[in-house]
Amino acid sequence: MDYSNNANDSQLQFLFQEASVGRRLGAFLIDHIIFTFVFMFAYSFVFFAIHDDEPLWQIARIVFWVIFFLVYGLRDIIKGQSIGKRVFGIGVRDVSDNFTVPSVPRLFLRQIFSPLWPIEFLALVFSSENRKIGDKIAGTGVYNLREYEDFVLYAKRMGYINQIQGDQGTVPQNVRVVEPYQPKKTKIAVIIIGAVLVFVILFCAMFFGVFSVLRNHTSYHLATEYIRANPEIVAVIGEVEGFGFRQSGSLSISSGRGDASYSIDVRGTDGNARVFIELQMRDGGDWEVVRFNFVQR
């Protein structure tokens, strides 16, 4: 029997239990973190690449957000599961046929209210069916799939053994006998640890990636040149040999105006210092240092 596509067998409905609010919220947070980090990095990269061309930047920004909306809305198209849903073992299915993954238009339709996530969350919490507004409109639901996947694997192995028994009368020694199917309990601790690791990895990638892009900007290069040539710094720590790993900063540019601030560790021949420097750019002109301070370390 093909258990993986048997929508009419009511005996198998126990395989699909409605996903809890906690699992759905956990999956949402993982997806949201991933999309935020990836798209903020891409946004920053595009911004630093073409921000000097105002018309092109305006077009790129519109295209960027359209792509973001489309990708975010279609995040469940692979077997009804986004990355977060796979981590928590849940997935989107047709509410009237839990064996069926909804079509791509329906998967997109159920996300139409995602920008109004506080309302969607309240609808999910107070719904007796654990379905948000988008699910009710698209006729979809979110279910635990780990039980179903384990059972399908079990059924396939049993079918393979039964076939061998039918052909040879006995089970060969190299085929492990499958014990009767027993539902498995998901270890929540493993899921939590996995989610935390994903968050840490993405946070580190985002932090170092964005600052790497920031360090390639004109304002940052001007700041480091100013530090190297500043007589006050040289008098305290000697000639500047390099800049430390611990750095931070911010950059804002709009309509020919820009503001940048950096906090940079500086290594000199006679000591170290922490430099705080602010720069401005007005009317599309050159960047200029407007404030400078440092603390010897």
Domain assignment present for residue 256? The answer is yes
Q: Is the pLDDT at 28 greater than 70, yes or no?
A: yes
Domain assignment present for residue 156? The answer is no
Q: How confident is the model at residue 172 (pLDDT cuts 50, 70, 90)?
A: very low
Domain count, the chain: 2
C-alpha distances in Å from residue 201, one per residue of 206, 208, 209, 246, 260 = 9, 11, 12, 18, 27
From the number of C-beta atoms within 10 Å of its C-beta (0-12, 13-18, 19+), residue 92 rates as buried
CA 260 to chain CA centroid, nearest Å: 27
Above pLDDT 90, what percent of the chain? 6
Q: Output the pTM of the full model.
A: 0.55
The answer to which of 6-20, 32-46, 114-128, 204-218 has the lowest mean pLDDT is: 6-20
Q: How confident is the model at residue 6 (pLDDT cuts 50, 70, 90)?
A: very low
Q: How confident is the model at residue 16 (pLDDT cuts 50, 70, 90)?
A: confident
Is 123 found in the same domain as 30? yes
What is the model's pLDDT at position 193? 66
The C-alpha atoms of residue 150 and residue 181 are separated, in whole angstroms, by: 9
Is 127 found in the same domain as 29? yes
Is 188 found in the same domain as 254? no
Is 232 found in the same domain as 123? no
Is 258 found in the same domain as 188? no
Is 259 found in the same domain as 125? no
Domain assignment present for residue 172? The answer is no
Domain assignment present for residue 177? The answer is no
What is the model's pLDDT at position 276? 92
Domain assignment present for residue 155? The answer is no
Asked whether 143 and 93 are in contact (CB, 8 A), the reply is: yes
**Which amino acid does the sequence have at 146?**
R
What is the model's pLDDT at position 49? 64
Domain assignment present for residue 248? The answer is yes
Q: How confident is the model at residue 92 (pLDDT cuts 50, 70, 90)?
A: very high
Asked whether 138 and 20 are in contact (CB, 8 A), the reply is: no
Domain assignment present for residue 242? The answer is yes
CATH code of the domain covering residue 282: 3.10.450
What is the model's pLDDT at position 278? 92
Which residues form the domain of 253?
A: 215-296
Is 128 found in the same domain as 58? yes
Domain assignment present for residue 178? The answer is no
Q: How confident is the model at residue 210 (pLDDT cuts 50, 70, 90)?
A: low
Mean pLDDT throughout 152-172?
A: 56
Q: Is the pLDDT at 213 greater than 70, yes or no?
A: no
Is 251 found in the same domain as 188? no
CA-nearest of 14, 23, 30 to 124 is: 23
Cα atoms in the Cβ-side hemisphere of radius 13 Å centred on 109:
13
Is 219 found in the same domain as 188? no
pLDDT in tens, 52-88: 666 777 788 788 888 888 888 889 988 899 988 888 8
Is 61 found in the same domain as 188? yes
Q: How confident is the model at residue 220 (pLDDT cuts 50, 70, 90)?
A: confident
Q: Is the pLDDT at 124 greater than 80, yes or no?
A: no
Is 227 found in the same domain as 292? yes
Is 259 found in the same domain as 188? no
Mean pLDDT throughout 156-175?
A: 52
